[in-house]
Structure 1
Amino acid sequence: MVGRYWQVLLVVLLLSSCTQLSDMTSKFFSNEKNIKINVSLESDGTINPGYNNQSAQPVKVCFFIVKSKYWSPDGVYDGIPCTDRAEGNEVIDSRELMVSPNQSYQLDFDIVYNRRDDAPLWLVAGANFQQVNDFKPIDRLKIVKKLKKVAVPVKITRNEILVGKLERDNRSRNKDKKEKNNVVVF
């Protein structure tokens, strides 16, 4: 009787350890991988002035995690990139929020992707400014998928949104200069 008890106990222990081992190996050999993208958004006191340079006003801001460097929201050429929430094969995740002057916001994206896919991800941010001057109402940043966690600063100034940069880098005027991104990697 006692011998039979130990045999049953041994079988139960072996089966439970096999299940745990199976879970660990399936996670190790899985094609899915996670990356956390933490966006820290800050707006200054001059954002989104009215047409007669009125005082700063709230602005609708949108964020997209996409697979293509060249993807843009539908309304970007009309100066309103946050008109519709984008769907489709290129868009992995999207968020919208109303941003007030002199405020800070935190957004967290938890992205699951296929580890065999070598293409980078892109964080695209846009804002529906009332005045669209010579600046586009969107900016983008390449996200390296080999990282587990990325912190991205986003700054909204008068009529401009800057992703991963603390100040304007004159990309349109100085294409030969490398972009300096202030991305914090964990």
Structure 2
Amino acid sequence: MLEVYKMKKDLLKEGSVEEMMTIILRKKGVTEPLEFGYNTYGKPYLDAFPEFHFNGSHSGEYIVCALCSGAIGIDIQEIVMEKDVMALANRFMSPCESRELALMEPEYRHAVFYRLWAQNEAYMKYTGLGMALPMSSFTVREDRGHYSIIQQDMAVENITLLPVRIEKGYEGWLCGEFEEKTVSVITLTAEDLQP
């Protein structure tokens, strides 16, 4: 099972992943109140529903939530052209990723930076460590359209990085142990908020 949901943040009272997850599970027929737990690094989970692994992200106008039968990480980024992406890359990303960005034509730099950033954060969330795993400690590599994570000079096995199409002007990526090669995004609307 792999599902991705998106909605406009302003439809939610709190704008939280937990609030969105409650809506999703209600649509799936779960009626009892949900209690969320958090691992040491802040990643939420549901004790009562161990079959639902989930993760969420928000940026710009959107919030997304991914559900999977195994560990999952998702990240979206609104592409902001005014940001100094080289300063951010030099500060947070691996030296290899920083070099890659520095060497490319400036007109492609923002798009590649936001792809890398979303891929990095999706992996960090997948591990359950989040920001406790330094972005500079691993590298996203691309080979003929296939993306992998290199950590301590070795490819991390059994994970997939998969693009998530949110909206023009956004970059979104999933990371997890799943077989799917594509994912469709389910849009939630104000009607879905009704009990």
Q: TM-score range by the shorter chain?
A: under 0.3
TM-score (norm 2): 0.25
**Structure ranking higher in strand proportion:** 1
TM-score (norm 1): 0.26
